[in-house]
Amino acid sequence: MLAIVVLAVPFAAGIASAVLPWRREIGWLCTATIGVVLVCGIGLAARVVHGPPITAFGGALRVDALSAFMVIVIGAIGLLATWQSVRYLSLEIAAGRSSRRHASLYSALVQGFVTAMLLAVLAGNVGVMWVAVEATTIITTFLVGYRQTRGSLEASWKYIAICSVGIAMAFLGTVLVYLAALHVGHHLHANLDWTSLMAVSHHLDPGVMRLAFALLVLGYGTKVGLAPMHSWLPDAHSQAPAPVSALMSGVLLTVAFYALLRFKAIADGALGVAFPRALLVAAGLLSLVVAASLLLTQRDYKRMLAYHSVEHMGLLALGAAAGTPLAIAAVLLHILGHGLAKGVLFLTSGEILHAEGTTEIAQIKALLARRPALGGIFGFGLVALLGLPPFSLFVSELNMVRAETQVGLGWAAAISLGCMAVIFGAVMSHGRHMLFGSGPDGERVHKTPGIVTVPLIGGLVGCAALGVVAWPLDSLLRAAAQVVAL
Amino acid sequence: MNGIGGVIAAVLVAGAQIAAVAVGGPLLVGVMRKVRCHIEGRVGPPIHQPLRDLRKLFSKQCMRPDQASWVFGVGPVVLVATAVLIAAISPLATTHPPLGQTADFFAIVFVLLLGSVALALAALDTGTPFGGMGSSRAMTIGALAEPALLVAILAMSIPAHTSNLPALVRIGLAHPQLIASPERFLALGSFLVVILAESGRLPVDNPSTHLELTMIHEAMVLEYAGPDLGLVILGESMRLALLLGLLVNLLAPWGIADRAGAAALVIGLGALVGKVVVAGIVIATFEVFTAKLRLFRLPELLAGAFVLAVVGAFTALVVR
Amino acid sequence: MSGSAYASSLELASGVVLVCAVVTLWRRSLSAIVKALAVQGVALGVVALILGVGKHDGVLIAVACLVIAAKGVVIPVLLGRVVAGDPASREAAPIVNVPASLVGAGALTFLAYGATGSVVALIPTTAGRLIPLGFATMLIGYFAMAVRRKAVSQIVGLLLVDNGIALVAFLATAGVPLLVELGASLDVLLAVVVLRVLAAQMWSKFGVLDLDEMRELHD
């Protein structure tokens, strides 16, 4: 029942905002909708953490601990993003860059986007999961091109071209898994339910599963942003409106990663640990190296944040490659922490863009002096993302390294630490350039309205709280990790 | 086949095929020309005009350039001789050509190539720039078309487990599903493109062009006159008729004689003539609506034919 | 339908799918490429039709008709409108020239046969032996997307990838569960519609449909 509410509420809000011309009240309504999703997610998590998974519609929807955790992630970051969307849309309409018609389209698309992501994590059937991820691709293409400038058009073209190919490959991988399942035990009728695939996973033909898993890593990996399929990420995430970037970078990447995790569990059963581990390690290390090398010379802070996402996705891939319960729990915590911190950073950068009018690092100086609230939040957000205590990313990265060393991937962990050190230096120098220094004399200190800063600070505080005190999520993380761990 | 009776029968069958090709070749060219003219709204010369041109040429005095050597005179003879040889041994009217029991398809291709090379050498022999230009262009096209042709033959040979040409036609007649298969269609498609390239039809080369710089085949024979030119024209039309005859017998072998007997042979000849005329009409119609390709676009066309043949060969190799 | 007629018509239709993929790399004129794509869509539907008739599966036959309508008619018409609107409707020199890309297509066909050995081994029927053709089409589509400059050519590459995957899906499993197959077709249709919209916007903002013109975003 709760599961159906979780899906129905944003869907209805989407229809409502498509039909009605946009007003601030509609924007707040949409925010409240996502708040309801978050609350329902917490409710679902409370029920499944100690009980059996909930199913609805005869198994089409299935909520286990992992799905419930992802609903919480989507709800939390979605709340931040939709809160900021209200202000973003009002500013755009006031500046004449957008119309009410256009804004209601935006609002409807964002609600549809969230609904599709929720469907992807709640689906019990990997085919429905695929359809939902494909739907997110199509919806976000329009959102990326919302501003209708030349840059955003180029970004949305690249996005849909590359991600459609990736999604098609993921479809082929899914078909091959279905084929392997069909041929288990004398052509018994098989379906694409994840539970039944897990049940037969030890009997699936290894040759077919190898090909299928490779295609799935390539396909869903394109949506996750793993190198070498990452080239759409910097363009799309930098050209989209800030709330959409926050949603895409914080949540959509990890929803695609969730799909990979589900398939990895099946592949582990069919192929043993070695082959999936090797693929994920290769993809993860490549992403880290690519992100490290390209972050050194970044000139645009939104693209910098986007490449930073590539790095974190590489870390997630390495953690998933380790595969132990500790590793997966750390991966899930990292998903939440990264989502919060990246979301806050993108939203702040949207505010900075609106205030300063440029996205180039070289042209922004002394942010702490001129706009203390924004500068402070941006600075702390960077600190959070770089994995410094007390933020939760420190804890999750530490645990991932520990788990990787335990299973013999210590060398990969060492390389990842090296890349992270390079990225630390690069981001610190960019951040220092933007934040410190003294502004031109006589320029007054701008105050940012509380309605903007409060939720952003709240997000950062949440991230820090998770790093210090784990208890609200401890049992949920453990239960979720048990679902897909080795 | 035994003794003198067998030898006479073999000679008769071979002679019938050679005569059909030798007389039918120029007639085919005449038919194609007539079709073009009709589509273009003209009346055009009668169908047997090429035969009359040949008679006129053979009655003229033999003129050769002073600086040419014996190669110049031998070239056209080799061209016609290779065409006659292939006409004798190919399964054109009958699936058991008496002289062609060991007629391997690859060998036939190389004999045809011998004719082309002889003509190209003879053109070089004159020492004129147009001769050299025509030879180099013709050899370039040959170098690109030969691999496609060889792989296409491979694609046709693999399912039949033999590259003996009469055997290929016999097996095609007995098992129609071998013909209605993707690899056969791919191979024959590639073969058709190679035929257009080797016999100098559009879109590769315009057979009726007068502009020297666009000539490929015409440039090679610019210096020929009298009986030599007659031999060249005869050889070229025989090659076209032969290649089209092989194509139609691999594509639609029905009507060909597969048992001994004069009646069957006559029916086989008639079927051959009919099918080749239909193929010629189709090609002539296609030519009306096509423009000549630029010289450096020819590699694209022939590379496409090559890849189609490769795909066909691979399909034959693996899918079976 | 008799066994050998079933087998050879299935082979023929699958072969047409692969040949159309090669033709899109071969021809330069965008309208010819779109026509080849239409033929490929119809051939794909014919494959599904033959499989459905062979298994007496009404649902599969219905899906086959849907495929012929969507991939053989609707999508090529949409693309044709984009091509008609662009005055420079020939592919400018692609990044890899035509003979080299054709040889690449041949190499990709070899690769497809090599990579799908285990899948073919699992399904010993006629349909199973033809799965590498679908894989080869998918790889050729991937290759076409990488080496073409015109926007329409990239859409064509995406459609080739999808047609190849659909061919594999039909041959391997005689249709994935209906819901997913319908979802997949619908999503492709939507993707093409989106790309059409973007192409129209590109036309109005940039004046050309050449992706080389869009190079503002880079590091």
Q: Percentage of residues in chain B with pLDDT exceeding 90?
A: 47
Cis peptide before A206 (omega within 30 of 0): no
User: How far apart are alpha carbons C200 and C205 in whole angstroms?
Assistant: 9
Cα B290 from chain centroid (whole Å): 20
Are B168 and B162 in contact by the 8 Å Cβ rule? The answer is yes
The residues with which C68 forms a beta bridge, in sequence order, are none
Give the DSSP letter of residue C93. Answer: -
**pLDDT recorded at residue A344:** 92
Q: C180–A192: do the CB atoms touch at under 8 Å?
A: yes
Q: Classify residue A191 as left (phi > 0), alpha (psi -120 to 50) or beta.
A: beta
Q: C19–B186: do the CB atoms touch at under 8 Å?
A: yes
Q: C133–B180: do the CB atoms touch at under 8 Å?
A: no
The residues with which C90 forms a beta bridge, in sequence order, are C29
Read off the pLDDT of residues A241-252 as tens digits, 9 standing for 90 and up: 999 999 999 899
**pLDDT recorded at residue C1:** 47
Q: How many CB atoms lie within 10 A of CB A258?
A: 24
Distances from the Cα of B234 to the Cαs of B35, B279, C176, in angstroms? 20, 19, 61
Q: Percentage of residues in chain B with pLDDT exceeding 70?
A: 99
Burial (CB count within 10 angstroms: exposed 0-12, middle 13-18, buried 19+), residue A473: buried
Average pLDDT along chain C: 81
For testing contact with chain C, the best of A157, A160, A213 (most C CBs within 10 A): A157
Range of the domain at B226: 3-319
Closest partner residue to A161 (CB to CB) among C145, C177, C201 is: C145
Chains A and C lie in contact, requiring 3 or more CB pairs less than 8 Å apart: yes
Whether the pLDDT of residue B215 is over 80: the answer is yes
Mean pLDDT confidence for C24-42: 89
Beta carbon pairs, B and C, within 8 Å: 64
Q: A303–C123: do the CB atoms touch at under 8 Å?
A: no
Read off the pLDDT of residues B53-77 as tens digits, 9 standing for 90 and up: 999 999 999 988 888 899 999 999 9
Closest partner residue to B300 (CB to CB) among C99, C106, C110 is: C99
Residue of C nearest to A170 (CA): C165
Longest CA span, chain C: 60
**pLDDT recorded at residue B255:** 84
Are B135 and B120 in contact by the 8 Å Cβ rule? The answer is yes
* Range scoring the smallest mean pLDDT among A63-67, B294-298, B305-309, C174-178: C174-178
User: How far apart are alpha carbons B88 and B95 in whole angstroms?
Assistant: 12
Count of structural domains, chain B: 1
Are B194 and B281 in contact by the 8 Å Cβ rule? The answer is no
User: How far apart are alpha carbons A93 and A103 in whole angstroms?
Assistant: 8
CA distance B182 to chain C (A): 5
Q: B307–C14: do the CB atoms touch at under 8 Å?
A: no
Is C24 in CB contact (< 8 Å) with chain B? no
- State pTM to two decimals: 0.83
Chains A and B lie in contact, requiring 3 or more CB pairs less than 8 Å apart: no
Is C165 in CB contact (< 8 Å) with chain A? yes
Is C22 in CB contact (< 8 Å) with chain B? yes
Q: Percentage of residues in chain C with pLDDT exceeding 90?
A: 12
Structural domain boundaries of chain C?
Answer: 3-213
Inter-axis angle of helices A232-239 and A150-182, to 10 degrees? Answer: 130
Are A109 and A136 in contact by the 8 Å Cβ rule? The answer is no
CA distance C162 to chain A (A): 6
Q: B300–C110: do the CB atoms touch at under 8 Å?
A: no
Convert chain B into a string of H (helix), E (strand) and C (coil). CCHHHHHHHHHHHHHHHHHHHHHHHHHHHHHHHHHHHHHCCCCCCCCCHHHHHHHHHHCCCCCCCCCCCHHHHHHHHHHHHHHHHHHHHCCCCECCCCCCCCCEHHHHHHHHHHHHHHHHHHHHHCCCHHHHHHHHHHHHHHHHHHHHHHHHHHHHHHHHCCCEHHHHHHHHHHCHHHHCCHHHHHHHHHHHHHHHHHCCCCCCCCCCCCCHHHCCHHHHCCCCCCHHHHHHHHHHHHHHHHHHHHHHHHHCCCCCECCCCHHHHHHHHHHHHHHHHHHHHHHHHHHHCCCCCCHHHHHHHHHHHHHHHHHHHHHHHHHC
Give the DSSP letter of residue C74. Answer: I
b/e map B219-230, b = 16+ CB within 10 Å: bbbbbbbbbbbb
Is C118 in CB contact (< 8 Å) with chain A? yes
**pLDDT recorded at residue B57:** 94
Is C26 in CB contact (< 8 Å) with chain B? yes
**pLDDT recorded at residue A441:** 65
CA distance A17 to chain C (A): 21
**SS3 of residue A49 by DSSP:** coil
Whether the pLDDT of residue B232 is over 50: the answer is yes
Read off the pLDDT of residues A182-195 as tens digits, 9 standing for 90 and up: 877 655 566 778 88
User: How far apart are alpha carbons C101 and C21 in whole angstroms?
Assistant: 12
Is A146 in CB contact (< 8 Å) with chain C? no
Q: B182–C14: do the CB atoms touch at under 8 Å?
A: yes
Q: What are the chain C neighbours of B303 within 8 Å (beta carbons)?
A: 98-99, 102-103
From A65, A79, A238, select the one nearest A145 (Cα to Cα).
A238
Low-confidence ranges of chain A (pLDDT < 70): 185-190, 439-444, 471
Is C191 in CB contact (< 8 Å) with chain A? yes
Give the DSSP letter of residue A240. Answer: S
Closest partner residue to A297 (CB to CB) among C119, C142, C219 is: C219
In this prediction, the answer to ipTM > 0.85 reads yes
Task: Please tell me the total number of residues recorded for chain C in this structure.
Answer: 219
Read off the pLDDT of residues C62-120 as tens digits, 9 standing for 90 and up: 888 888 888 888 888 888 887 777 666 666 667 788 888 888 888 998 889 888 888 88
Read off the pLDDT of residues B137-185 as tens digits, 9 standing for 90 and up: 999 999 989 999 999 999 999 988 888 888 988 888 888 878 878 888 8
Is C216 in CB contact (< 8 Å) with chain A? yes
Mean pLDDT confidence for C164-189: 73
Is C106 in CB contact (< 8 Å) with chain B? yes
User: How far apart are alpha carbons A160 and C39 in whole angstroms?
Assistant: 25
Q: C138–A207: do the CB atoms touch at under 8 Å?
A: no
Q: For residue A100, give both structure tokens.
A: 């009410």
**pLDDT recorded at residue A215:** 92
Cα B224 from chain centroid (whole Å): 21
Q: How many CB atoms lie within 10 A of CB A48?
A: 22
Is A383 in CB contact (< 8 Å) with chain C? no
Q: Which other chains touch chain C, taking contact as 3+ CB pairs less than 8 Å apart?
A: A, B
Whether the pLDDT of residue B13 is over 70: the answer is yes
From A288, A281, A312, select the one nearest A408 (Cα to Cα).
A281
Q: What are the chain C neighbours of A174 within 8 Å (beta carbons)?
A: 176, 180
Q: What are the chain C neighbours of B306 within 8 Å (beta carbons)?
A: 102-103, 106
CA distance B82 to chain C (A): 32
For testing contact with chain C, the best of B181, B184, B296, B311 (most C CBs within 10 A): B311
Is C2 in CB contact (< 8 Å) with chain B? no
CA distance C128 to chain B (A): 9
Type and span of the H or E element at C117: helix C117-122
Three-point CA angle A253, C216, C140, nearest 5°: 65
Residue of C nearest to A140 (CA): C194
Mean pLDDT confidence for C11-33: 88
Give the strand pairing for A54-56 and A61-63.
antiparallel
Burial (CB count within 10 angstroms: exposed 0-12, middle 13-18, buried 19+), residue A160: buried
Residue of C nearest to A236 (CA): C217
Whether the pLDDT of residue C214 is over 80: the answer is no
Q: Which other chains touch chain A, taking contact as 3+ CB pairs less than 8 Å apart?
A: C
Q: C26–B311: do the CB atoms touch at under 8 Å?
A: no
List, in order of start, the domains of chain A with CATH numbers.
1-124 (1.20.120), 147-272 (no CATH), 289-486 (no CATH)
Give the DSSP letter of residue A96. Answer: T
Q: What are the chain B neighbours of C98 within 8 Å (beta carbons)?
A: 299-300, 303-304
**pLDDT recorded at residue C92:** 60
Q: C122–A183: do the CB atoms touch at under 8 Å?
A: yes
Type and span of the H or E element at A43: helix A24-48
Is A402 in CB contact (< 8 Å) with chain C? no
**SS3 of residue A60 by DSSP:** coil
Is C15 in CB contact (< 8 Å) with chain B? yes
Inter-axis angle of helices A24-48 and A2-19, to 10 degrees? Answer: 170
